[in-house]
Amino acid sequence: MYKLILEKTAYTPAQLSGIDIPQIALAGRSNVGKSSLINTLGGSKKLARTSSSPGKTRSINFYMVQPSGFSLVDLPGYGYAKCSKTEREKWSRLIEAYIQDNFQLKAVVHLLDSRLEPQALDLELSHYVQSLNIPILPVLTKSDKCKQKQLTAISRTWSKILGLNCPPVVFSAKTGAGRDKLWELIIESATP
Ligand SMILES: Nc1nc2c(ncn2[C@@H]2O[C@H](COP(=O)(O)OP(=O)(O)OP(=O)(O)O)[C@@H](O)[C@H]2O)c(=O)[nH]1
Ligand SMILES: [Mg+2]
Tell me which residues have their CB within 5 A of the ion that is ligand 2.
34-35, 56-57
DSSP element (H, E) containing 92: helix 85-99
Distance CA 45, CA 18 (A): 28
Burial per residue of 150-164, b for 16 or more beta-carbon CB atoms within 10 angstroms, e otherwise: ebeebbeebeeebee
Q: Tell me if the domain spanning 3-190 has CATH number 2.60.120.10.
A: no
What is the 8-class DSSP label of residue 84? -
What pLDDT does 81 receive? Answer: 64
Strand 169-170 relative to strand 105-113, pairing: unpaired
Question: pLDDT tens, 71-80?
Answer: 999 998 887 7
Domain coordinates in residue numbering, the chain: 3-190
- Beta carbons within 8 Å of 61's beta carbon, 6+ residues apart: 6, 8, 9, 48, 73, 74
Higher pLDDT pick, 184 / 86: 184
Question: 114: Cβ below 6 Å to ligand 1?
Answer: no
The three-state secondary structure class of 138 is strand
pLDDT at 168 > cutoff 90:
yes
Ligand whose nearest atom lies closest to the CA of 143: 1
CA distances from 43 to 48, 66, 84, 126, 183 (A): 11, 13, 34, 28, 12
Burial per residue of 103-120, b for 16 or more beta-carbon CB atoms within 10 angstroms, e otherwise: eebbbbbbbbbbeeeeee
Question: 82: Cβ below 6 Å to ligand 1?
Answer: no
What pLDDT does 77 receive? Answer: 87
Question: pLDDT tens, 21-64?
Answer: 999 999 999 899 999 999 999 999 999 988 888 777 788 999 99
Q: How many Cα atoms occupy the beta-carbon half-sphere of 69 within 13 Å?
A: 4
Question: 38: Cβ below 6 Å to ligand 1?
Answer: no
Q: How many Cα atoms occupy the beta-carbon half-sphere of 21 within 13 Å?
A: 14
pLDDT at 82 > cutoff 70:
no
- Beta carbons within 8 Å of 40's beta carbon, 6+ residues apart: 171, 173, 176, 179
- Average pLDDT taken over every residue of the chain: 92
Which mutation among 31, 40, 74 tests ligand 1's pocket best, with the greatest number of atoms within 8 A of CB? 31
What pLDDT does 127 receive? Answer: 93
What pLDDT does 68 receive? Answer: 87
Instruction: Examine residue 22 and say whether the peptide bond preceding it is cis (omega within 30 degrees of 0).
Output: no
Question: pLDDT tens, 114-165?
Answer: 999 999 989 999 999 999 999 999 999 999 999 999 999 999 999 999 998 7
Average pLDDT over residues 3-14: 93
Ligand whose nearest atom lies closest to the CA of 61: 2
Task: Determine the distance from the C-alpha atom of residue 167 to the mean position of all C-alpha atoms in its chain, rounded to a whole number.
Answer: 17
pLDDT at 192 > cutoff 90:
no
